[in-house]
Structure formats: structure tokens, C-alpha cells
A = this chain, B = another copy of it.
Amino acid sequence: MKEATFLKELKELDLLQQTLAILEWDSQTGMPEEGSEYRGETTGYLSGLYFEKKIGSKMKDAIEYFDQHPEELSEVGQAALKLVKEEYELNHAVPNELMVTFSAATSKAHGAWQKARKENDFAFFKEALAENIRLTKELIPYWKKEEKNDYDVLLNQYEPGMTTAILDEVFAEVRKGIMAIRQELNERGTKPNTDFLSRTMTKAQQKRFITKVVTDLGYDFSRGRLDDTIHPFATGINHRDVRITTRWNEQDFMMAIFGIIHEAGHGMYEQNIDEKYEYTPVHEGASMGIHESQSLFNEIIIGSNRSFWQKQYPFFQECAEGTFDDIAFDDFYRSLKKSQASLIRIEADSLTYPLHIIIRYEIEKMIFNEGATVEQLPEIWNSKYEEYLGIRPSDDLTGILQDVHWSGSSFGYFPSYALGYMYAAQLYHAMKKELAVDTILSSDDYSPIKQWLTKNIHQYGASRKPNQLIQDATGEALNPQYLLDYMKKIYFDVYQVNR
């Protein structure tokens, strides 16, 4: 077997993936509403070609041969082989029948979840959720490679190397820290005024502002584009075609502006993976958590930075054509960072957000490691919200039915959101040792920040694992203290706690 044969097979897989990514992008941004049934036939057929090829004999032969002759592979070939092998080992033992049942169950559960949301009643989702959990538990033994507990197996599908042992410790610290900060703000802080945030800013005005901002931050529109969608996302079709989407609200400019900064962070990651990895599975993010670290670095670290906003505010005011001329910069800045407990995760502010994740993490762990039953879940959910956030959902819609993840059996995914946030704060801490970030954000040239992220994270794609990336970039393993320090700095300033 020649390396070229192996790489050609990977390339063809990648071309099918690129095609599926365009079809998905199209169906979310522009496809005529009536076209979805036909589109399902097309993606179904192409996905079939993709999976056939992925577990086909050529791929199997390549894995077997190069496992014995790794020295015949280039660096790119070796990095690709590693990922292909991992995935192959994860899935090859799973009986095909079980995968089919699993896939059918998630599809059914998605419908049940939508029905339950419509009826605002968890009862309509309970059975399907139980079936998702049962089948996932049946799959775990096939996926389990080392001495891990069951939930660790699920975690590792999204964040290689992550364990409940680490997360228990880290999340306990984060939870305690955030609750202490919230108490401080409550007792000694001054709430920012946010009355003016709902002033009308047209889509065109918002677009003018944010297009310049993300271009400054380093998102490359000559290799990207921005479209409207209901659920915002970023998609890396290939190295030179990385698209982002958003939704707009003319009475709430923060939605699109922070949304686009967020998606541009994902986009910049994909645009700056070393192009030599293209057409292999290495030209992807290292993990969900690392991907989220890049979007949250943009959205929260940059997007909460006083110098950044001080520099941008005059242009923001210009784009708003007078609407915010009467708002002093300090009032504007503070309004962006108001914190308020909410029941809905995707509406949470950057201080309380991790608490929403921790609640989900604890519940998932109870399901898979401690035998919690679906009947118990709503009560567990509501009590945890009361305990951690001080508010209790009054119905299932604002409680346990709010997220799509469980209907798709994506158990173990939620922690990625909080990991990304902690990684972002830790990377920021490391970056500040080398760069005068505030000075850069006060200047006309933000490029050193992007360059730092590309040098330390982006370029490697999936050739390094999350823990290695973080260790190499910051000199230590995941450390939640940086997130807490960062939150204190931002929120104590905004709430004028020490004034």
C-alpha cells in the first residue's frame, strides 16, 4: 500500500463531507421551505456513500498496513492515521443493528421532544429519552477502551482525555467561585443601566459595524461569508471556504453582534488550521471544547474588554447614526455586562452561564454513573436551578425541555461549553504574558492576537489533543482559577464593587 492511496481515500471522504456541509449550510440558509423532503433524499444518499467508504475495505486495509508500517507515512499521513484509527477502533465493534436502532431512536426522540415542547409537558418526552439512555448504555461497553467510568466514555467523544475526576474538581471550584462573585455583586455592586439596549438599530447598521469588527479581529471574508439563519453556526467547508451565520434583532443589537463575534471565532480557527492538513480529518478542530474556546475568546474575552469597546464605541455610534449619541461610553460598556440569573441557558450572561452547564453535567453523571431514572429528572433539574441560581422553573419548557441535546443522545456534550470558557480564560492569561492585549485592542491592528492564537492553537488542527494544546500554550493543565480571576476582574469593575 502506498501513502498516496491512503490519502486519496481520505480526500474522497473529505470531498463527500464538504458536499454534505454545503447541503447543510444551504438547507439552513436558503433552501426553499418546500424542498426539505427532497433534500433529505440527497443527503441520505450521500451520507450512505460516505459511511460505506469510511468503513470500506480500502480504509480497513490502509489502517492495518500503516499500523504496521507507520514509518512509510509523512507527518500528515501519520497524524491522519492516528485519528482514523481512533475512530475505527471506537466504532468497528459496534453491531450494525444496534447503530441502526440507535439512530432510529434519536430520530424518534427528536420528534417526541418537539411534541413535549409544544405541549409543555416532559411526559411526552420521557419514554423516548429513556430509550436514548438505554441504548447509549448499551453502546458504552463497545466504546470503552480503558478503565473509565461510563460517563467518561461519553465525555471523551467530545473532549478526548477529559474525565469526571477532573471535571468534578474543576466544576466544584467554578461553582463555588461564581456563587461567591454573585453574592459580592449582590451585596456591594451597582447594577448597570440597560434601558437603552433595546433601542432600534437596523440590520444594515449592525451589519456595517460587526463586519468591520470581525474583519479587524481576523475573520477573512475572502474565504468566508455571512448569512442569515434561525440557529447561528459556523461551518468550515474547506480551508478557503468557512462560513458563518447569524440572526438579527433590530431591538436587541447584542444578539447579532455578539453572535457574529462568537461564530467568527469558530471561523478563524477553521481558516487558520495549517493547509497541509486539508483533505484529511486533521483539518478540523481538536475538540468541541477547544473549538468553543476560540469562539468564546472572541465573544467573551474580546467582547468584554473595556479597551476593545472604548476603541470601537465611536464607530459603533457612527453606525447607529445617532441612536446612541447620548450614551456615555462607560454606561454603554457597563450595560453589556449586566448579570442576571435566567432559567434559559442560551440567554444566560457570561457570569452565570457555567452554572447552567454544571447542572447539566451533574444530571448526566447521575444518569450514567449513578442510575438516576428519567422520572426523577425534572425534580432534580428544578432543585439544582433553585440551589445554584436561586430561581426555580415553573414549567418544563423553561426547565428540562429547553435543550435539544438529549433528544439526539448527545450525552457528554454540555461540558464542552464550560471547558471552552475555561480554556479561553487560561489562554488569555498566557497571552497576556507575551502581548500587551489591552494596548493592542486600543490600536488599529489586532493581528498579534490572531497570530498568537494561530501559533498556539489554530495551526495544529486535530493533530494535537486538547490537553496537550492547553499545556503547550499555557504551561499548565486546565486550571479554572483563571476563569474565576477573569470574572472577578470584569464584573467587579462593571458593578463598581471596589469603588
Chain B residues contacting A223 (CB-CB under 8 Å) are 32, 34-35
In chain A between 259 and 310, which residues have their CB closer than 8 angstroms to a CB of chain B?
A: 278
Judge whether A46 is part of the interface by a CB distance below 8 angstroms. Answer: yes
Given the interface pairs A23-B19, A38-B18, the reply to whether A32 lies near B238 with Cβ below 8 Å is no
Q: Which of A32, A37, A227, A278 gathers the greatest number of chain B CB atoms within 10 Å?
A: A32
**Residue of B whose beta carbon sits closest to that of A241:** B35
Judge whether A77 is part of the interface by a CB distance below 8 angstroms. Answer: no
**Residue of B whose beta carbon sits closest to that of A238:** B38
Judge whether A386 is part of the interface by a CB distance below 8 angstroms. Answer: no
| Min CB–CB distance A102 → chain B (angstroms) | 25
Judge whether A184 is part of the interface by a CB distance below 8 angstroms. Answer: no
Q: Are B19 and A19 touching (Cβ within 8 A)?
A: yes
Judge whether A225 is part of the interface by a CB distance below 8 angstroms. Answer: yes
Chain B residues contacting A240 (CB-CB under 8 Å) are 32, 34-35, 37-38
Q: Are B46 and A241 touching (Cβ within 8 A)?
A: no
Given the interface pairs A18-B42, A42-B15, A46-B19, the reply to whether A32 lies near B239 with Cβ below 8 Å is no
CA of A10 to CA of B45 in the docked complex: distance in angstroms? 13
CA of A408 to CA of B50 in the docked complex: distance in angstroms? 33
CA of A228 to CA of B37 in the docked complex: distance in angstroms? 26
Judge whether A482 is part of the interface by a CB distance below 8 angstroms. Answer: no
In chain A between 116 and 163, which residues have their CB closer than 8 angstroms to a CB of chain B?
A: none
Judge whether A30 is part of the interface by a CB distance below 8 angstroms. Answer: yes
**Residue of B whose beta carbon sits closest to that of A240:** B34
Q: Are A45 and B15 touching (Cβ within 8 A)?
A: yes
Chain B residues contacting A181 (CB-CB under 8 Å) are none
Judge whether A7 is part of the interface by a CB distance below 8 angstroms. Answer: no
Given the interface pairs A32-B224, A222-B34, the reply to whether A241 lies near B15 with Cβ below 8 Å is no
**Residue of B whose beta carbon sits closest to that of A46:** B19
Judge whether A221 is part of the interface by a CB distance below 8 angstroms. Answer: yes
Chain B residues contacting A34 (CB-CB under 8 Å) are 222-223, 240-241
| Min CB–CB distance A85 → chain B (angstroms) | 24
29 contacts between A and B (CB under 8 A): A12-B45, A15-B45, A15-B46, A16-B45, A18-B38, A18-B42, A19-B19, A19-B23, A19-B42, A19-B46, A22-B23, A22-B26, A26-B26, A30-B225, A30-B227, A31-B241, A32-B221, A32-B240, A32-B241, A32-B243, A34-B222, A34-B240, A35-B223, A35-B238, A38-B238, A38-B239, A38-B278, A39-B241, A49-B49
- Can you name 12 extra interface pairs (CB under 8 A) apart from A34-B241, A35-B241, A49-B49? A12-B45, A19-B42, A31-B241, A32-B223, A32-B243, A34-B222, A34-B223, A35-B238, A38-B237, A38-B240, A38-B278, A39-B241
